[in-house]
Structure 1
Amino acid sequence: MSPALMGTLFVAPRDLDAVVAEVDPVVEEEEEVMEAAEEDALSVGR
């Protein structure tokens, strides 16, 4: 295997972690917004 390919293999997991770290808070925030919207809809229906 070429050294260049080895380099990409070792770099990839760290890059992936960085991407996940950036995306995770956004996803959690959207879930909270959705839950709040559902609760609002339920309270209006009562």
Structure 2
Amino acid sequence: MSLKAVIQHVIDGIIIIDKTGEVIYTNPAADESFGYKPQRWRLFRNEISG
């Protein structure tokens, strides 16, 4: 099983952010926990970086 497959199926939310504050990956658990669709995460950068 690949690392990506494991990350996709864990029950914990995983959010990967690059050094500019852009969300580059979320797993389904993170999407569900925060109630965001993948498109919404792209807008989240401004909230993280201020």
Could you say which structure has the higher helix fraction?
Answer: 1
TM-score in terms of structure 2 length: 0.27
TM-score scaled by structure 1?
A: 0.29
Larger Rg over CA atoms: 1
Q: Indicate the structure with greater strand content.
A: 2
- The structure whose RCO (Cα within 8 Å, separation 6+) is larger is 2
